[in-house]
Chains A and B, each alone.
Chain A
Amino acid sequence: MGIEAALPTDAFLTTQLRRVINWSRRSSIWPIPFATACCGIELMATACSRYDLARFGAEVMRFSPRQSDLLIVAGRVGIKMLPVLQRIYAQMTEPKWVISMGACASTGGIFDTYATVQGCDQFIPVDVYIPGCPPRPEQLIEGVMAIQRIIDEDGIPPSGPDGRRIPLGLSVLPNHPVAAQPVGVRVGS
């Protein structure tokens, strides 16, 4: 299956402990879905067999923040919901990462009203932003892979001069050709 099949049975490998830990962390990211809107449907599709987030080790949706590594904010966050989101974030154990999925979670989207938070990154640290309304599953996978690259490189998000951790603030570009809008629609043949 793996490298052990290609090696003699009495061989051994040397590596750094940090790399082994990073490898195991990036191969078993357990997300907690904070799915409040239609992005949550795409999130479910991503975890299902067609897109199969399990290929990246991130299919184990945990509904307890204590068991999860990655908070996926999928959908708009109302001002009444924000304390719940903050509490869930605070209850997650380190190391932890946050994906802001879709236009509403990142900016408030079209909901520029008194009741909607204009971007959850104002109130919790966000590592990766995924554009789209909603993003396609491939794009969410890109976001998860961005988190994996972060883990590979360092393991833990970086600290600033004051010792506080800095949100990475990456944004994922669309992985499909973006057509000029509006797109012409033809019905029938």
Chain B
Amino acid sequence: MATPTSPKLDHPTFAAVKAAFPSAKLRATEFRGQSTLIVEPGDAHAILAFLRDDAKTRYTFLSDVTGVDYLNYPTPMPGRFAVIYNLIAFDRDDRFFVKVFLDPSIPTNGTDEDPALYVDSVCDLWPGAEWTEREVFDMYGIRFRNHPDLRRILTWEAYPAHPLRKDYPLRGRGERESYKVVDRSTS
């Protein structure tokens, strides 16, 4: 068994963000050398723009945007859903994570638009975010404000759920069975 260690919050980006955004509510964590900054949904876009443009941080590359559903997670988390931005500064070989927690305001078993599950899109900062944000929308139903083309990317338009939500059954709700059958005589 590995002994639990307390996170080492010595990543220089933490101090840079804290100095630039003194009034923002920031939390930080670290695991095995990977540092994560947890920000409020309203601050995310400004902080990500700062991280891209500031001379000390210069995270020019957005490696990925992913989502997490923390339903039934063993330890208490600040929110049900999370959006994680995976940033890289190539000139320092430095990877950094920014995380946003969101709590749904309506039941999560459908596909209805939830005003609480909204984050500002970062497509204006990194154009490559377009498809990764579409994937987060498709799988978790988290919508991105000012996204140029927020459509489902993996499932089809009329798919009746967001399948990576933990309250969605693994085998689906009959989507894989409800197809027309082609037989020899009709084809």
Query: Which residues of A are interface residues toward B (Cβ below 8 A)?
Result: 79-80, 82-83, 86, 89-90, 112-118, 122-125, 157, 163-167
Contact = CB atoms under 8 A, between A and B. Distances in A.
22 contacts: A79-B175, A79-B179, A80-B154, A80-B156, A83-B179, A86-B179, A86-B187, A89-B182, A89-B187, A90-B187, A113-B172, A114-B169, A114-B171, A114-B173, A115-B163, A115-B172, A122-B179, A123-B181, A125-B183, A125-B184, A157-B184, A164-B183
A123 B173 CA distance: 18
Contact of B180 (A86, A113, A116, A165): A86
Given A122-B179, A165-B185, 13 more contacts: A80-B156, A83-B179, A89-B187, A112-B170, A114-B163, A114-B169, A114-B170, A115-B163, A115-B176, A124-B181, A164-B185, A165-B183, A166-B184
A46 B68 CA distance: 42
Nearest to A108: B176
DSSP majority for the A interface?
Answer: loop
Contacts of A114: 163, 168-173, 175-176
A157 B179 CA distance: 24
Contacts of B109: none
Nearest to A91: B187
A123 B179 contact: yes
A112 B169 CA distance: 11
A164 B184 contact: yes
Q: What band does the interface of chain B fall in when counting residues whose beta carbon is under 8 Å from A?
A: 20 to 34
B182 A86 contact: yes
Contact of A122 (B154, B170, B175, B177): B177
A112 B179 contact: no
Given A112-B170, A113-B171, A114-B175, A123 B184 contact: no
B184 A113 contact: no
B155 interface: yes
In order of increasing CB-CB distance, the 3 nearest A-B pairs are A114-B172, A165-B184, A90-B187
A179 B156 CA distance: 43
A90 B182 contact: yes
A118 B168 CA distance: 18
Contacts of A90: 182, 187
A143 to B, nearest CB: 19
